Amino acid sequence: MNDYYENELKILDVDVVGVCEKLEYAGAKKVYDGLRTISVLDKNGELLAEDKLLRVTEEESVKVSLHINNSRVANKQVIKYKVSRVKEVLDLFKGLGYARVAEARARRISYEWEGVDFDIDIFEVVPAFLEIDIGDGSEKNLAEIMNLLGLKERDAVQMGTEEIFAHYGKDYFEEFKV
């Protein structure tokens, strides 16, 4: 499981239009701009109690992800795989006793630039945030990226989406409870 550690940094409360303009000016390629649906599944509270999160995310494709050590971002591992049909995967988990406990819809804008992935998440209940994932093969560093985006005075934080909601006084699971 050592290969599944997540290394994403987030910048909170970003100017969506400004960040998109700067990324496009730098030559970043927009790879997604649309609504995504995130379903959180659980079986009688057992995964959440074990600090695990099972998600099915619909964008252009369907992705299933298991987050381990979800509340401890520095030790968080994420195992992801893509499937082709959301209904069938949700039915499979339902047959195994898992039910949707939360379902969130948010706009996501994604860019790729020189080995770096950028995702801007726009939820209605918290300010937009930028997720930066510097790939292993990228020669870019965080300082260079922050300067490029005009964010060099901002702090990059290691927080999961649920922690970002808590930062703004919101409970992710209550906001999107099924």
Within 10 A of 59 (CB to CB), how many other CB atoms are there? Answer: 14
Binned at pLDDT 50, 70 and 90, residue 2 comes out as: low
- The per-residue b/e assignment along 40-50, b for 16 or more CB within 10 angstroms, e otherwise, is bbbeeeebbee
Query: Which tokens belong to 166?
Result: 């808590």
Write the CB contacts of 88 (distance below 8 Å, at least 6 apart in sequence): none
Tens-digit pLDDT profile for residues 28-66: 999 999 999 999 999 988 998 899 999 999 998 999 999
CATH superfamily of 2-175: Hypothetical Protein Pfu-838710-001 (2.40.320.10)
Distances in Å between the Cα of 63 and the Cα atoms of 36, 81, 85, 151, 156 are 11, 6, 10, 30, 26
Q: Which of 67-71, 90-94, 135-139 has the lowest mean pLDDT?
A: 135-139
The model's pTM: 0.91
The closest of 88, 92, 109 to 19, measured between CA atoms, is: 109
Q: For the chain, what are the domain ranges?
A: 2-175
Tens-digit pLDDT profile for residues 91-120: 999 999 999 999 999 999 999 999 999 999
